[in-house]
Structure 1
Amino acid sequence: MSEDTVAHAPGTARSALEQDARALTAQLAGVRARLDRLPPRPDRSAAQQHVARRLLTEARAVREEFLRRHVREVYATLTEGLSRVPRVADLLAAAARHYPGLVPAEADLAADREREQRAKEGWEIDQGIFVAHVLDDRPSGRHLLHAMTRPRQRAERLLEEFRQRDAVDLGPIAVHHKNGVGHVTFQNHRYLNAEDDTSNQALETAVDLVLLDDRIDIGVLRGGVATHPKWAGRRVFGAGINLTHLRQGRISLVDFFLDRELGAVNKMYRGHSGTFTGEAEPRGAREKPWIAAVDAFAIGGGCQFLLVMDHVVAQREAYVNLPAGREGIIPGCGVLRLPRFVGEQLARQAVLFNRDIPVDSPEGRMIVSEAVPAEEIDAATDRAVEGLRAMGLTSVLANRRALRMSVEPQDAFRRYMANYAREQGYCAHSQAVADNLDRTWTR
């Protein structure tokens, strides 16, 4: 039997699903009743914390088993036989309505959003478990990847304004068009272009606009001129995740960690999805090459962007890193992609031991295409644009797709993201992350 074939007759599968869903709801309601008798997490004694962890572990084991048996039928139900294309957030909301207890209700998530990271109950972990099972199921996962690479409605609403004005200010991100190039500029100046929920949503909208506008054939990613006192008047590419917001509990598993990798970054790498066919390597409806211009540093998420670019121009004194060991989280798809640039050993040093990589070094030249003096970045970027055009965009896109299929097939990305959805939830709500953030503030 094919991996993509449901193992039961439709009626039998539906009956088993409904029966198991009722049992799931009843069992989880009992676990939840015991959990609700405990004080809020910050007020629990050590013994009560132990009880809470045991109850949450028990509930997650029940969800894991249910999803192992039924994820394909569940996803088909929530998407009306794959005819609907909900994003992750909408899919989770529908799952909460259709299968009470399977994923957190909005009230639980809202309560956790009001708490600092170390005080949260960690309901997002259960969201990550659900998304992991969906992505791990081949037909469901391919369909969800398709949904997440469709243009966002906000971008479609802004497209006419962008075409008329050639610029849209999205707050922490700006996008403008000039001479066929779509310039996406980081301008989250208060935090040196560190990333958070708001900037991520704005970035995806900006990427969508570049992909949607037929006048544009190439995208360029760069940091804006900083206003921060230490860097005033200089450009900064990116300072990674906003640790202030992470400590305050304002970084979301869905709106940041998952949306970022499945949305903005994946759209730069693979473009907008076309008609869903279920194929392993569907052709994108809109795909364009991207260039990054790096000033000062590309920390964490900033470095991750470089790994999906077609050309990277960097200031000679700049450096890149993926300081996941210091933060205690998984650095997006950096763990998937960095080893093929610099080798596994150096990738381990960067991810686990916070090793900085100067761009003007043999290791750095494996990540960036050109390391030039600061005053030459604009000219080097223009040369890269003209070089791509001289090759011919049809050829560029064909070769870009061929390279991508050889080094990161979509199913490999899907499986990575299935693991990432589950593990990032556990990491973000771990004691280690809370302690690491506290140490950062103490320093």
Structure 2
Amino acid sequence: MEAVKSLPVVVVGAGPVGLAAVAHLKVRGIPFILFEAGATVASNILSWKHIRVFSPWKYNIDKAARQLLKETLWQSPSDDGLPTGDELYSQYFKPFYELPFIKYNTYLNTKVLSIGRKNVDKMKTSGRENLPFVIQVLQGEEVRQFEAKAVIDATGTWNSPNPIGSGGVYAIGEIENSDNIFYGIPYILETHSHRYKNKSVLVVGSGHSSINAILELDRLKDQYPDTEINWVLRKKNIRDVYGGQENDAFEARGALGIKIEALVNNDRVNVYTPFQIQQVRKKEGRLQVIGFQHDRQYTLPPVDEIISNTGSRPDFSFVREIRLRIDSSLESVHEIATLIDPNIHSCGTVRPHGEKELRHPEKDFYIVGSKSYGRAPTFLMATGYEQVRSVVAAIDGDFDGALKVALDLPETGVCSVDLAGSVTGNACCGVEAKLKEKKASAACCG
């Protein structure tokens, strides 16, 4: 037992929340190992480095990480500035990773293959809580094993995008035609401009990623007038995606709703909603998208490329030997499902939560960050920072500290407004929030 206690804590995933976890472990003097599948920390954020976030710097830097960085020559960004993904990386994540005690304990280009208890499978109960975790990883062509006293899974969901097909499954022909489908946020105006200029492009999704894609395609259209923009949504009312606009206290986010409404009203975008995609097939070198609109089968005009912004889902493949408690619908950690379920909350309150709510039947194993939210689109970095602060406190035996959870969240205005100006609550936008001008509090996500 004492030998297990002397083992490090393993953190999987070097995104914002994983880095925050090792910051808190370092502050408490707990040895750790950090595994990252990418070639650098925050590699997923670099995939959308051209996108500017809505929340200012003061909500994007973990407190423990800030404490460690302040002991160096690091210059803190202005609290009120709105960083791009590239600025988040260059001004925060990379300098933090470069701290010797972080870099020395981080393994990049390392894919975790499996996590379990030493020498026992999932079915064996007796004494398993006293056994170390065994983490099997792939480094290059070599498979290695590490042992840990606790594991924090902060792998997120970015690399497991949802399909474009209706019902959460791949549309017929979607996989076969995936070379013409971009899952994520392409850099339309630069890196990927050759892929979209003077092409007919279909954007699928109703969140801010899809709105950003459409706005960039419209700018591309100014340079290449034959570019055609098509937009498929499942929502019954397109106004649900316009958000708070002038009433949004995050001015940059409210501006998105204003701009996209103007494009739609000026017929710069061909909108198909509600539309349920069933099939994608290639004919004469172009894609035909077939689905249902108002319960009638309909084939969209041919397109050349598809951009999928339909959200993502967690990957549990490497934790099959871990005893988990996962909500059956959201695929979130079970105890937080009722706090974040968009079927119930839309723009309702997300209470602060920590180690107590994140526990699994497997002692000392935690899923944190966006992966803890499963498929719910309501996650904010600041939420993950508080999660790992609480989890690390519990690992350190500070149970009072673990139980005291609180969130300092921005005032963000309304999430979505109907024609009468009342809150409709189903256009969550990527940051948790409190309504500024309404009496109800809100968790607008995104």
**Structure that is richer in strand per residue:** 2
How does the TM-score come out when normalised to structure 1?
Answer: 0.28
- Quick check: which one's helix share is greater? 1
TM-score relative to the length of structure 2: 0.28
